[in-house]
């Protein structure tokens, strides 16, 4: 995460915590993160991982992307180069997940770019009711698991599903799997 993004996350977490009327201890406990990590984050120090950001977002009733976006964007279109975005998840074999951007209108949509190497797996908790995901496999193969149902996917296939159950993404086949994921949030979960 670059310094500018870290500053935005720090400002957004701190303002959401204060708006909720919570102390650092309360938010740390609710998000299942250490108070030290939270103090560092609110001070724009360190490099929070995906689990920390998801825990904070869930505790605050917001999306990860709402914690990462500037509340005062300019009128110009946003153009993102994936190479400039630090991964929020890194797998043991070098796979990555990057939150490229969030399109807030008409309803918030996060756009993610994933690379999973064979055997790499990312488990995700159940999202709030109404949140859906769409996966498009651009290259390779993967296994999507929703609760106890496995769904193999390969290049050229797209799926959409309600993500209000525990789910996971796993690289399959012989080479890396590249996919684009969109997370369609409800306005209530996105936060202000």
Specify whether 96 is located in the same domain as 176: yes
Overall number of domains in the chain: 2
Domain that holds residue 156: 82-190
List the CATH number of the domain containing 147.
2.60.120.10
Specify whether 100 is located in the same domain as 48: no
Specify whether 10 is located in the same domain as 50: yes
Specify whether 165 is located in the same domain as 86: yes
Specify whether 8 is located in the same domain as 42: yes
Q: Rounded to 5, what percent of the chain is helix, strand, coil?
A: 30, 30, 40
45-49, 78-82, 95-99, 139-143: least confidently modelled range: 78-82
Specify whether 126 is located in the same domain as 165: yes
What is the number of other CB atoms lying within 10 angstroms of the CB of residue 70?
Answer: 12
What DSSP string runs through 58-79? HHHT--HHHHHS-SS--SSPP-
Specify whether 60 is located in the same domain as 96: no
Place of tokens 């400039």: 84
List the CATH number of the domain containing 35.
1.10.260.40
Task: State pLDDT tens for residues 55-75.
Answer: 898 889 888 888 888 766 555
Query: What does residue 123 show for φ and ψ, rounded to 5 degrees?
Result: -95, 135
Specify whether 58 is located in the same domain as 111: no
Task: State pLDDT tens for residues 73-112.
Answer: 555 666 677 778 888 889 999 999 888 777 766 678 888 9
77 found inside a domain: no
What DSSP string runs through 13-43? HHHHHHHHT--HHHHHHHHT--HHHHHHHHT
Q: Which two tokens stand for residue 71?
A: 């509340």
Specify whether 59 is located in the same domain as 132: no
103 found inside a domain: yes
pTM of the model: 0.58
Contacts of 11 (CB under 8 A, 6+ apart): none
């Amino acid at each position: 995460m670059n310094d500018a993004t870290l500053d935005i996350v720090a400002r957004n977490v701190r303002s959401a915590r204060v708006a909720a009327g919570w102390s650092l201890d309360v938010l740390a406990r609710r998000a299942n993160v250490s108070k030290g990590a939270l103090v560092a984050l609110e001070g724009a120090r360190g490099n929070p991982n995906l689990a920390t950001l998801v825990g904070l977002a869930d505790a605050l009733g917001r999306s990860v992307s709402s914690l990462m976006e500037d509340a005062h964007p300019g009128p110009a279109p946003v153009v993102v180069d994936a190479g400039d975005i630090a991964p929020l998840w890194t797998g043991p074999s070098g796979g990555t997940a990057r939150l490229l951007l969030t399109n807030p209108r008409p309803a918030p949509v996060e756009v993610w770019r994933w690379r999973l190497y064979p055997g790499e797996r990312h488990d995700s908790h159940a999202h709030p009711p109404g949140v859906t995901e769409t996966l498009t496999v651009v290259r390779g193969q993967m296994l999507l698991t929703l609760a106890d149902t496995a769904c193999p996917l390969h290049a050229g296939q797209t799926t959409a599903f309600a993500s209000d159950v525990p789910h996971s993404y796993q690289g399959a086949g012989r080479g890396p799997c590249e996919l684009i994921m969109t997370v369609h949030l409800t306005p209530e979960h996105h936060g202000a």
